[in-house]
Structure 1
Amino acid sequence: MPDPQDVPDGPITFRPLTPTDLPMLRDWLAEPHVARWWNHETTLDAVERDFGPAMRGEDPSEDLVVSAGGVPVGLLQRCRWHDFPEYVVEIAPILTVPDGAVTIDYLIGPPGLTGRGLGTRILAAAAAGVWERYPDAPAIIVPVSAGNRASWRALEKAGFRRVASGDLPPDNPIDPPLSHVHRLDRPTTEEPACRP
């Protein structure tokens, strides 16, 4: 078993969350560095209630276990903005979300793996996964609580740019509503120059 303080080498991969992952996810959600921003109930019943619908395909979002070098290290959620119209309405006063745009949310579970560059690696791999999974998505748009500096700095290091700031309902009621919104546009491939 690897040392929990070592950041695993190897590729970042994603797989669907399964019922057998729920105890691990519950433990991650209970970690203080995760609980601070996710503000989630951590009983197994609550975790199953909230993550079960996506696992069963009853919800249009995807919950994915993130692994680094084959070691589970976190969770990635992704979905199209317009599959959840209420969120499009919430963000509309500060940003217009284009059709087909995707959003992501993420956490690193083991506390010893935070602040070591893993988040940036995960976000870069997550973006590549979005472009493959959603071939018509023009952009990934991610709102983050302004107080969660580690999260929005990881986005910026992964190539996202801040495109707006404004008030959004916080995930944790102890936070002020100010959020920063980051965007990454789908990469374009340039046509090779014509040669005579």
Structure 2
Amino acid sequence: MSESIGDGPLHWRRLAAGDLRLLARWLADPIVARWWNHDSTLEGVERDFGASVRGEEPGEDLVVSLDGRPVGLVQRALIHDYPEDLAEFAGLVEVPEGAVELDYLIGEPALRGRGLGSRMIATLVRDTWTSRPATPAILVAVVAANAASWRALEKAGLRRIAEGPMTPENPSDGSLHYVYRAERG
């Protein structure tokens, strides 16, 4: 019998210091580690996410909960706030002023492959239109080899608009990325 992902609403809040141990566990999970390629030691997570916890980072790191239980993380940021990301995107697509980028992970292994990823993405896209009324578009770059991720984007209603070389999170991946877009409609 498979575990249901629940149909309760998704909620999110800013990452807090008390979440860093959980985030370290998620980042150490082999599936997450494969695509995020991040230092999953508590020290590494504190170093790399501490600025976000302290409110010193322009982007948002959001803990997503389902039925009151933390299940994943979404990063949401203005692309123009991150010059390296802007350069990567601009090499493949037009990046309008105010465009937002998303990145995401499902931290709980039992909930993967059940539609939660596309649900998280679609919910955060809708919230972005509401909470950031000046945002004209949302762009997401995903390494082409990560079929589960780009399928979730498509199921969430994003449209593939480009493909080309970008720097991968994991050096073992090729540089081919797909760029997806959602537009305010």
TM class by shorter chain equals over 0.9
Match of 1:192 in 2: none
Give 1:5 deviation, angstroms: 4.0
Match of 1:137 among 135, 142, 163: 135
Cα separation, 2, equivalents of 1:91 and 1:17 = 26
TM-aligned CA deviation for residue 54 of structure 1? 1.2
Partner of 1:113: 111
Give the ranges of 4+ consecutive aligned residues of structure 1 lying more than 6 Å apart after TM superposition. Answer: none
**Alignment correspondent of 1:39:** 37
Alignment of 1:35-114 (within 5 A): 35-114=33-112
Structure 1 vs Structure 2: percent identity of aligned residues?
54
Deviations 1:52-98 (A, max 9, x none): 11111111010010011211100010000001122111222211111
The one-letter code matched in structure 2 to 1:30 is A
Unaligned runs of 5+ in 1: 188-196
Cross-structure match for 2:166: 168
Contact 1:161 / 1:182 at 8 angstroms: preserved in 2?
yes
TM-score (norm 2): 0.96
Q: Report the AA paired with residue 74 of structure 2.
A: L
Q: Which amino acid aligns with 1:35?
A: A
Q: TM-score, normalised by structure 1?
A: 0.91
1:130 partner letter:
T
Aligned length: 185
